[in-house]
Amino acid sequence: MIYAGMDIGSRTIKTALFDTKSQTMIACKLRDQGLDQQNLTRNLYAQTLHETGLDGSAIARSVATGYGRSAIDFADTTVTEITCHAAGVRHLHPDARTIIDIGGEDSKVIRLDDRGKVQDFAMNDRCAAGTGRFLEIVAQRLEGDLHSVAYAAERCGRPAAISSMCVVFAETEIIGLLASGTPIQDIMAGVQKAIASRIVGMVGRQARPPFYFTGGVSLVPGMAQVLSSTLGRRITVSHNAQFTGALGAAIMASRQAA
C-alpha cells in the first residue's frame, strides 16, 4: 500500500510517498512556499504522483503536517509536525533519541523515549533567531547567497562575536563589524556559532544521544559541525533531512489505516 505525506512549512512545501511493502520512501518533492498554499501543495502532490506513474486512486490515505496543514483540505487528516518529524527520523534512524530541527522560521528540539515516542520538546517559533531566516538575512547583508557565504565561513580565522540574537540588532552589529574590516567569513562563522549556542540552550541537560539534525539549515555548509562543537556531542545530519516531516506524515497515514 502507498501512503502520502505533505509537510507545509513556513518556507517550503514537501511531499513524500511511503510504500508499506518495501518500508521505503518511494518519492519526494520540494518547492518554495507561496501565497496559495492549497494549490501549490495540490500541484506538488500531483507532480509527485505523476513522476512515479501513480494516480490519486493508488494512495490509501494521506496526512498533512506543518504550520500550514489546516489549509490543505484534500488531505484525509492532519497530524502535528512534532509527531511527524519523530516518526520520520525514527524510521530512517531507529537509534535516534534527540532530533534538532531548524527550518526557515522555527527551530525545535524533540526528545524520544526508547520506543521512539515523543517524550518532550522545545520550540522557538516567535522570532527569527536560531532559524534559517536569520542566516538568510545575514547572507544578504554580506551581499552573498547563503551557501557560498557559509562555505567561506568554514575557512574563517576567528569567528566574530555576535552578542545579539535579535535580527535587527544583529544587523547593526554586522554593519559595525564590516565597517571595522572584519572578514565576511568571520562574521558568518560568528552568526553560526550564535545560532548553535541558542539551540544548545534549547537542548537542555536531559537530551540523550544519538542526535540527528533535520530541516533546511542542516544542509547549510558547516552548520552541523558548529552545532556539534558547541554542544560537545556528535551531531549527524539525517538522511533526507528536509523530508523527515513529510515522510513521517506518510508513515502516520499508514498507521492510521492499520
Question: What does the pLDDT look like over 167-210, one tens digit per residue?
Answer: 777 888 888 999 999 999 999 999 899 889 889 989 987 899 99
**146, amino acid identity:** L
Q: Is the pLDDT of residue 115 over 90?
A: yes
- Average pLDDT of the segment spanning 225-238: 95
Question: Which runs of E-coded beta strand occur in 80-189?
Answer: 98-102, 107-112, 118-124
- Average pLDDT of the segment spanning 242-249: 98
Q: Give me the phi and psi of 151, to 5 degrees please.
A: -60, -40
> Which letter does DSSP use for residue 157 in this model?
S
pLDDT in the model for residue 125: 63
pLDDT in the model for residue 126: 63
pLDDT in the model for residue 72: 95
Q: Locate 158 and state its grid cell.
A: 576567528
Superfamily of domain 1-93+240-258: ATPase, nucleotide binding domain (3.30.420.40)
- Average pLDDT of the segment spanning 142-156: 86
- Burial class of residue 123, CB neighbours in 10 A (0-12, 13-18, 19+): middle
Quote the CA–CA distance of 248 and 110 in Å, as a whole number. Answer: 14
- Bridge partners of 124, per DSSP, are 107
Alpha-carbon Rg of the chain, whole angstroms?
Answer: 19
Query: Which pLDDT tens digit goes with each residue over 23-63?
Result: 999 999 999 998 899 999 999 999 999 999 999 999 999 99
- Bridge partners of 99, per DSSP, are 110, 212
Question: Which runs of E-coded beta strand occur in the chain?
Answer: 2-8, 12-19, 24-32, 59-65, 77-78, 98-102, 107-112, 118-124, 211-214, 235-237
**149, amino acid identity:** V
Fold annotation for 96-238: Nucleotidyltransferase; domain 5 (3.30.420)
Quote the CA–CA distance of 258 and 253 in Å, as a whole number. Answer: 9
Q: Give me the phi and psi of 177, to 5 degrees please.
A: -65, -40
Quote the CA–CA distance of 155 and 163 in Å, as a whole number. Answer: 21
Question: Is residue 102 within 8 Å of residue 130, measured between CB atoms?
Answer: yes
Q: Give me the phi and psi of 246, to 5 degrees please.
A: -65, -40
Overall pTM surpassing 0.95 (yes/no): no
Q: Which part of the chain has CATH 3.30.420.40?
A: 1-93+240-258, 96-238
Quote the CA–CA distance of 150 and 118 in Å, as a whole number. Answer: 32
Q: Give me the phi and psi of 54, to 5 degrees please.
A: -110, 165
pLDDT in the model for residue 226: 94
Q: Locate 150 and state its grid cell.
A: 557559509
Quote the CA–CA distance of 205 and 74 in Å, as a whole number. Answer: 41
